[in-house]
Amino acid sequence: MKLNYKLQGDGQPIVFLHGVFGSLDNLNMLAKNFEQHYQTVQVDLRNHGHSPWSDKITYQAMAEDLVELCYDLKLKDIILVGHSMGGKVALQLSQMLSDSIQKIVAIDIAPIKYHRSANATILRVLMYCLDNQITDKKQIVNLMEQVGINMPTILFLLKSFKNDKWLFNIEAINSQYGHICDWQNISPWLKPTLFIRGGNSSYITNETYPVIFEQFPNAKIEVVEDAGHNVHAEKTPQVLQLLHNWIEE
């Protein structure tokens, strides 16, 4: 699958991968900081942004899309930076592009299966809007507020609502959400891997550390205090400092 992407700068490539319901602009605050000295590649994953849609959303399939893109762009010594679902895609790529990848950063995600969906309420509202052909932005916001979705999350979702249409494939995400939560343990990857954990987030916990080190023995885990799952947006300066320190060491 030919993915939509944005290319900036020159030098060693850093590939940025967004989370579910997102798009290539979601990690813009990180990418823009690096484009002066690196080549930044921001990618719309399948079923998101302006990339093609598919009924299949597995980490194998999403990683295969990235392999094709990296080959097309002739990328070498790649640094991968992925948030949430994009982080899992980056971790999966360690099995498929190992020789071409130098380092991986996974932002607030662990290589584990998640059993409880933090996005179940969001998916219910999105499917309701889709089934009832609700395209009025004010009505969508009201419906989301009524079920307790907070305003920062609503504003994040609305970034992918353009011309009365959602840029992400709601039906595919809903039907394939089990695959997005899933994870199949992979062979140990011995290259440097950085996990950035939001201190207030439950996506990475102390209990997940052994599983992380089992699959990524040279991993480093950094905690950003007073940050939730979207740690890169909530604490951008701290995350940028961690990235620079780790990438340039």
Kindly list the catalytic residues: 84, 229
What residues are paired with 107 via a beta bridge? 83, 196
- Could you give the CA distance from residue 91 to residue 80 in angstroms, rounded to a whole number? 9
- Classify 40 in phi/psi space as left (phi over 0), alpha (psi -120 to 50) or beta: beta
**Both tokens assigned to 211:** 């599983």
Residues with Cβ within 8 Å of 219's Cβ and at least 6 positions away in sequence, in order, are 192, 193, 194, 195, 212, 213
SS3 label, residue 89: helix
Strands 165-166 and 161-162: antiparallel
Helices (H) and strands (E) in the chain, counts: 11, 9
In 3D space, the residue among 135, 124, 109 whose CA is nearest the CA of residue 202 turns out to be 109
SS (H, E, C) 142-209: HHHHHCCCCHHHHHHHHCCEECCEECCCHHHHHHCHHHHHCCCCCCCCCCCEEEEEECCCCCCCHHHH
- Could you give the CA distance from residue 25 to residue 29 in angstroms, rounded to a whole number? 8
- Could you give the CA distance from residue 178 to residue 180 in angstroms, rounded to a whole number? 5
